[in-house]
Structure 1
């Protein structure tokens, strides 16, 4: 009898997403991000730094490529609470839409 291996997905595979995106869309940024992508796993801080490196020049054009899992959203909302930021301040800090922050608060902080 064949044994089946079950893979549990715990969220986006940021390393794969970024690797594929950089390879196809902006290979010139590889040197700037390879130290983050070579880590065993990426922290929230790593994800935000890589986002900044990749998207800072073309933020509005590539905003649609950003993705956050629940754990990351909770960390961002905890940062807001810890630093007593309103939604606009938090959105500017993390380069998010105010509407996104409002939606997250409505969904996750009921």
Structure 2
């Protein structure tokens, strides 16, 4: 069981992801609504891992990823993107993201990715 922070500007996406994670006994310790909020919550909550949407207002997910890794180079961040955002996913992975998943969420794939990330 992990302590997870969800950062996504879509309440529907956050709710769906939270339901999937909690079904596997993970604890969602916080939810961020944009990159600025995500960084603040990461620093305050120190979760075991973060799920980070790429496209968000104020600071996008890649900017927030870089900020988080600047504070904690060992942070486990899994990026989330819509299908067809290959270039953004590549940029996120090259910036230090450890894993990624795509929307719409497939619960089995989400939990498999989370397990892989946590075992690193």
Of the two structures, which has the highest relative contact order with CA contacts closer than 8 Å and spacing of 6 or more?
2
Which structure has the bigger radius of gyration? 1
Q: Which has the higher strand share?
A: 2
User: Is TM-score (shorter-chain normalized) higher than 0.5?
Assistant: no
Task: Place the TM-score, normalised by the shorter chain, in its bin.
Answer: 0.3 to 0.5
Structure 2-normalised TM-score?
0.30
